[in-house]
Amino acid sequence: MTETTSAPTAAPEATGPKPAHPALEFLRAFARNQSAIIGLILLALVLGTTFLGPVFYDVDPYSMVDMPFVAPGGEYAPLGTDYLGRDMLAGIIEGGRATLAVGAAAAVISVVIGILIGSLAGYFGGWIDAALMKVTEFFQILPTLLLAMVLVTIFGATLVTITLAIGAVSWPQVARLARAEFMKIRKLDYVQAARTAGARDAYLIFRVILPAALPPLVVAAGLAVGAAILFEAGMSFLGLGDPNTMSWGLIIGQNRNYLLDAWWTVTLPGVAIFITVLAISLVGDGINDALNPKLRRR
């Protein structure tokens, strides 16, 4: 983009009330953001249902409770039953745990790999940067879903391999972001000062630059959770998830052939995925906006 240079304004230094503590300022900005609050409420709802759900709704998600394909509102199953006559509500509560756990763990893996590669590339520059960016480009070019599918097929479909596979292919975006932040921050005066004072590379990377680069990376990490949930759902839908663990994608995949007779079996777990990812992205956007007051005013 072209840089728009505005005429220097002669407004005096802000003489208004002293700016509050940054954290407080951030919370205030976040709380003013309606959609971020909605996201937070939805997220609480999802987490509450998945982790506290079994306490209030004690039905075995793996056993038959009624005839197959009973519509929602039935006598035994409030959200209906699936093709094996299992309770949909219990299945969604149970499936959320695996989906959320895989999503969060895979996101952590991808963020750690991404920050490691991005920070080294951005900090050192030169041939290290060029080489690491080639690797990143390589992973961006491959259709990640396909690669993860191959990995899972080779190593067997368990929650652990799925998590590792998703984490191992999803880091390039975080790496690019971390690299950009590091390149920007390493040029700042205080980093140069620390370097001149004789700080070692590892200290500069992890103790000086990383903390400053963290806010946008936190947002990216949040969004990575959403992306990993979608990723896991896609794999489970294709039948590449752990066949022994209920997850939202798996429920959709298993009931897919009957969707014209029992729409709720594929619709409801999808709604759960949708609400979860939506909540995460609303909260993520809210944090992002609160961190960038300039964008907020637009």
Partner 1 sequence: MPPLVKRLASAIGLLVAVLVLNFLLIQMAPGDPVEVIVGEMGGASEELIARLRAEYGLDKPVIVQLGLYLSKVVTGDFGYSYYFNQPVLGLILQRLPATILLVVSSLMIAVVVGTLMGIYSARKPKGLLSHFVTIFSLVGYAAPVFWTGLMLLILFASVFPIFPVSGMQNVRGSETWIGAVLDVLHHLVLPSVTLASIYIATYSRLSRASMLDVLGSDYIRTARAKGLNERRVIFGHALRNGLIPVVTMVGLQFGQLFAGAVLVETVFNWPGLGRLAYESILRRDYPTILAILFFSAILVMVANILTDLAYGKIDPRIGGSRRKAPKPKGAAQ
Partner 2 sequence: MDPVLEITDLKVGVDTGRQVHSVLDGVSLKLTPGKTLGVVGESGCGKSMTALSTMGLLPDRFAVSGGSIKLMGEDLLAAKPARMRELRGNAISMIFQEPMTALNPVLTVERQIAEVVELHQGKTGAEAREIALEMLRAVQIPSPEDRLAAYPHELSGGMRQRVMIAIALACRPKVIIADEPTTALDVTVQAQIFRLLRELQDQTETAIMLITHDLGAVAEMADEVAVLYAGKCVESGPVREILSNPSHPYTRGLMACTPRLRLGAAAASAAEEGLGEIPGMVPPLGRFPKACRFAPRCALADARCHAEAPPVVPTGPDHSALCWHTNKMEQVA
Contacts of residue 262, defined as CB under 8 A and 6 or more positions apart, other chains included, come to 69, 71, 80, 82, 83, 255
Which neighbouring-strand residues pair with 86? 64
| Residue 96 near which of partner 1, partner 2, none (CB within 5-8 Å, type-dependent) | none
* Residue of 230, 235, 238, 239 whose CA lies nearest to 274: 230
Q: Say which entry of partner 1, partner 2, none residue 7 contacts (CB below 5 to 8 A, set by partner kind).
A: partner 2
10 interacts with, out of partner 1, partner 2, none, CB within 5 to 8 A per kind = partner 2
One character per residue 28-67, x = contact with partner 1 (rule: CB under 8 A): ----------------------------------------
How far, in Å, CA of 53 to CA of 69, rounded?
23
Partner whose footprint covers residue 150, from partner 1, partner 2, none (CB < 5 to 8 Å by kind): partner 1
The CA angle 168-170-172, to the nearest 5 degrees, is 105
Q: How far is the CB of 33 from partner 2 (least distance, A)?
A: 17
90 forms part of the interface with partner 1 (CB under 8 A): no
CA–CA distance, 256 with 57 (Å, rounded to integer):
26
The whole-angstrom separation of Cα 248 and Cα 274 is 11
Question: Does 95 engage in binding with partner 1 (CB under 8 A)?
Answer: no
Mark residues 9-38: x for contact with partner 2 by CB under 8 A, - for none: xxxx--------------------------
Residues 125-164 that bind partner 1 (CB under 8 A): 134, 137-138, 140-147, 149-151, 153-155
DSSP state of 197: T
Residue 269: CB atoms within 10 Å: 31
Closest distance to partner 2 from the beta carbon of 79 (Å): 46
11 is in the binding site of which of partner 1, partner 2, none (Cβ under 5 to 8 A by kind)?
partner 2
Distance of closest approach, residue 295 Cβ to partner 2, in angstroms: 17
- Distance between CA atoms of 92 and 70, rounded to whole angstroms? 16
Taking the C-alpha atoms of residue 230 and residue 207, their distance in angstroms, rounded to an integer, is: 33
In the bound complex, what is the minimum distance in angstroms from residue 265's beta carbon to partner 1?
A: 10
Asked if 10 is part of the footprint of partner 1 (rule: CB under 8 A), the reply reads no
Q: Which residue, 7 or 260, has its beta carbon nearer to partner 2?
A: 7
Alpha helix ranges (H) inside the chain? 22-32, 34-56, 88-124, 126-141, 144-155, 159-169, 172-185, 189-196, 201-203, 210-237, 248-255, 263-291, 293-297
Cβ 292 to partner 2 shortest distance, Å = 20
Residue 245 binds partner 1 (CB under 8 A): no
Q: Pick from 238, 244, 257, 296 the residue near partner 1 by CB under 8 A.
A: 238
Least Cβ distance, residue 152 to partner 1 (angstroms)? 9
CB 92 within 8 A of CB 284: no
